Chains A and B, each alone.
Chain A
Amino acid sequence: MFEQSQMERKAAARIDEARRQIEICNACRYCEGYCSVFPAIMRQRSFADADVTQFANLCHNCRGCYYACQYTEPHEFDLNLPGILAEVRTESWERFAWPSPLARLFQRSGTALAVALMLGFAVLFWAAQTLRPESGEGFYAVMSHGLMVSVFMPAFLLPLLALFVSLRRYWRHVGGQGVGRSQIRQALSRAAYMKDLSGGQGQGCNFEDEDRFSNARRYAHQAVVWGVFMCFGSTISGTIMHYVFDWPAPYGLLSLPKLLGVPGGLLLTAGCLELARLKLKAEPALGARRVWAGEMGFVLLLGFVSLSGLLLYASAGTAAVAVLLPLHLGAVLTFFLLMPYTKMAHGFFRLAALIKDAAGN
């Protein structure tokens, strides 16, 4: 009980600090050309907690405003807007997530993620050993299709449900109204082009080398997003082929699941490696320090999902499949189940924030 209220006090203090900084930004306005956050700030003169939470979720942590700021430390105003908004943002995901202790654990701890991964692997490995099918081709010789579906269907749907609940809480908190089609279109377009990592004029972020502008992070992030979509598309197309056309795996290289899955996996792996490399070079104080390890763990987990998938495909027909399949599926299982409680949640919250913001334009 005491711990809970102390945490709430800390969260409230962070929002107050963000508000202090935002009020200074609103009197300055030099950064209005960088991203969506500043025009949103400038539409108002006073800022409720919910406004601060919305700005925090609009911020993509490109850090352009930090390096352009006259008031960063050692100045007495001590502005670090990307840093404080990152703190408020991750805190908001933890607060809106259900159950929130899980979010606190996995947002922050790379170790917890690794342990979850091991568990996922162990469960799948145990299942593969004890429920080994009598017959089956390719992967299904190691694990039956029925078993995969009965594990992954709920593992996919339950987190989506949890995310839906969190997003609804967020939407209510920030005072979101009914959503129009043009609003969605605007938000999707901003997200698709990663406009808020463009620096406003396409020069990119100040992420990995102080005030040098670079699109490395934006492009790596694009590789990850499109990689995820392609891998997801690969799974969907496989499912459709299985159920609708009665055409079970394995599929050849020129089939839809492979045409999407192989380049998607390559993009995702390369994107995750690059994001991890950039994160190592970036100044930690301009992000959410408390969740650095959890974010890094998540990027590596996502990279491992795609890498193990690619390896699995490369080792088709060899004995390695018996180990690689549970390894890959274990990673996928962990990734799905922890979606609402890891950095993965950011995609959903950012989109919601962009949709909300589009209403004000």
Chain B
Amino acid sequence: MSYPDIVVAGGGNAALCAAITAAEAGKRVLMLEAAPKPYRGGNSRHTRNFRCMHDGPLSVLTGTYGEDEYYNDLLLVTKGNTDERLARMAIRGSQESQPWMEAHGVRFQPSLSGTLSLSRTNAFFLGGGKALVNAYYRTAEALGVEVLYEAPVTHIELDRDRITRVDFTHGGARHSLSPPAVVAASGGFQGNIERLVEAWGPEAENFLIRGTPYNRGDVLFNLLGQGVQSIGDPTQCHAVAIDGRAPKFDGGIVTRLDCVPFSVVVNKHGDRFYNEGEDVWPKRYAIWGRLVAAEPEQVAYSIIDSKSKDLFMPSVFPPVTADTIPELAGKLGLDPQKLARTIGTFNASCRPGTFHPTELDGLATEGLTPPKTNWARPITEPPFYGYSLRPGVTFTYLGFKVDETAQVQGADGPVENLWAAGETMAGSILGQGYLAGFGMTIGTVFGRIAGREAARYV
């Protein structure tokens, strides 16, 4: 192993953008990726688009998406829980980053089918996030960046305001380096169930993790433990309701279920607990993770009939199917009489009206608690279908506090030779909620800044 100028902890989009930028500035860069090669790229390998500001048509993006509109979209989801200066940097930086991404091997395509609502604001990666990650690794390696896989960082030694040592394991041995500069781009801690349990309580044992199991937050907690300043609520994570049969880790995009608005959702006791028709999908998609997490055993069941079967994106696993509601209940492990009663009450409260699957149609129940305020059609036409739902954790909000140069802030001011990028600092900007494609924006813009600043320092 050579003696690098800069060590990058991490192997996803932000780490790659930092490594490529620093290598182009002539620095010797070593990337330490905790995952084995087939799983490299952190959560970036599950992503698919990049939210991008543009003052006019740009690459695959049509029309315009200005800074203020973008910032307002961010305010809506974060309810103001953001750092305006950093947020606007990310937003402005996205426009200039898009051609940079193309120049470094990323290919874009118009929005994927089923995501037309994002065609103006989000540029989609041809082949998805893993294709982007592959392209960046090719570019980085061509620039001489050295990459070690299965090389988790175990400790970063902070001596007052300087990083003096990086410890990691690789090939069954412990290694230490003392590079002039370090970039931390190793994601959140959502792959670390014990930490989730600490933050959420024992229910977190039943959560599914949509992304990589390698985002364990080891670098994050290691440095926070040495007095580095944090940002973001340590007890919060972003979760959506996904197919309950999904793998524990890395289920990614395919485990999403878009059936909720057209369904009746019950908990394991067969009771409804929330308005399934509250707002347009996918706007209300995100809240269901939390809702299901609050129900007994963190599980719920979404029931539809054959009328609604083809109204949403196909599911990765076929639904549980039956000709009657009690039979379906039996197959789902629910009390047949109870479910039949819940569905019967729901059906009786449905009113005639015009059903519009793609807009708020106002087709609401009457005299039902909780109500279903849109798309309320009786569940009557067999066969009936059921999906189990569980909370699927996407990312955590806890991160490093950074300034406009992506420099990490220690207890008494900036750490002289430490920068952070990507999910590990995204809590500064996305303090709450979720905005499609914005994680990749933060990672790209701040990855490039971190790489540039670290290179300038060395």
Which residues of A line the B interface, CB within 8 A? Answer: 23-24, 26-34, 42, 45, 64-65, 67-77, 200-201, 203, 211-212
Task: Please list 14 pairs of residues, one from A and one from B, whose beta carbons are closer than 8 Å in the complex, sorted by A's number.
Answer: A27-B253, A27-B316, A29-B112, A30-B112, A30-B127, A30-B128, A31-B128, A32-B113, A67-B127, A68-B134, A70-B45, A73-B38, A200-B126, A211-B134
CB distance from B367 to the nearest CB of A (A): 35
Q: Are B130 and A68 in contact (CB under 8 A)?
A: yes
CB distance from B318 to the nearest CB of A (A): 8
Any A CB within 8 A of the CB of B238: no
Any A CB within 8 A of the CB of B27: no
* Highest count of chain B CB atoms <10 Å: which of A26, A200, A211: A211
Q: Are A42 and B113 in contact (CB under 8 A)?
A: yes
Q: In chain B between 95 and 150, which residues have their CB closer than 8 angstroms to a CB of chain A?
A: 107, 109, 112-114, 125-131, 134, 138
Any A CB within 8 A of the CB of B64: no
Q: Are B131 and A68 in contact (CB under 8 A)?
A: yes
Compute how far the CA of A226 lies from the CA of B95 in the bound complex, rounded to whole angstroms. 44
Chain B residues with CB under 8 A of A73: 38
Chain B residues with CB under 8 A of A71: 252, 254
Residue of B nearest to A42 (CB): B113
Compute how far the CA of A71 lies from the CA of B125 in the bound complex, rounded to whole angstroms. 17
Compute how far the CA of A30 lies from the CA of B310 in the bound complex, rounded to whole angstroms. 20
Q: Are A200 and B109 in contact (CB under 8 A)?
A: yes
Q: Say yes or no: A27-B127 contact (C-beta < 8 A), given A72-B38, A201-B107.
A: no
Compute how far the CA of A32 lies from the CA of B113 in the bound complex, rounded to whole angstroms. 8
Partner of B314, one of A30, A45, A75, A203: A45
Chain B, interface size category, equals 20 to 34
Q: Are A33 and B247 in contact (CB under 8 A)?
A: no
Q: Are B127 and A34 in contact (CB under 8 A)?
A: yes
Q: Are B114 and A29 in contact (CB under 8 A)?
A: yes
Known: A32-B113, A68-B128. 19 other contacts (CB 8 A): A23-B314, A27-B253, A27-B256, A27-B314, A27-B315, A28-B128, A29-B114, A30-B48, A30-B253, A42-B113, A45-B314, A67-B134, A70-B45, A70-B46, A70-B252, A73-B38, A200-B109, A211-B134, A212-B138
Q: In chain B between 34 and 69, which residues have their CB closer than 8 angstroms to a CB of chain A?
A: 38-39, 45-46, 48
Compute how far the CA of A76 lies from the CA of B246 in the bound complex, rounded to whole angstroms. 10
Please provide the 9 A-B residue pairs with the shortest distance between their CB atoms, ordered closest to farther. A30-B128, A68-B127, A68-B131, A27-B254, A27-B316, A33-B109, A211-B134, A33-B126, A28-B254
Residue of B nearest to A25 (CB): B254
* Highest count of chain B CB atoms <10 Å: which of A65, A70, A211: A70
Chain A residues with CB under 8 A of B252: 28, 70-71
Q: Are B134 and A74 in contact (CB under 8 A)?
A: no
Chain B residues with CB under 8 A of A69: 130
Q: Say yes or no: A70-B38 contact (C-beta < 8 A), given A29-B113, A29-B114, A45-B314.
A: no
Residue of A nearest to B48 (CB): A30
Residue of A nearest to B250 (CB): A75
Chain A residues with CB under 8 A of B316: 23-24, 27-28
Residue of B nearest to A206 (CB): B134
Q: Are B38 and A74 in contact (CB under 8 A)?
A: yes
Q: Are B126 and A26 in contact (CB under 8 A)?
A: no
Compute how far the CA of A64 lies from the CA of B112 in the bound complex, rounded to whole angstroms. 17
Any A CB within 8 A of the CB of B313: yes
Residue of A nearest to B256 (CB): A27
CB distance from A96 to the nearest CB of B (A): 29
Q: Are B128 and A201 in contact (CB under 8 A)?
A: no
Residue of A nearest to B318 (CB): A23
Compute how far the CA of A23 lies from the CA of B316 in the bound complex, rounded to whole angstroms. 6
* Highest count of chain A CB atoms <10 Å: which of B39, B129, B316: B316
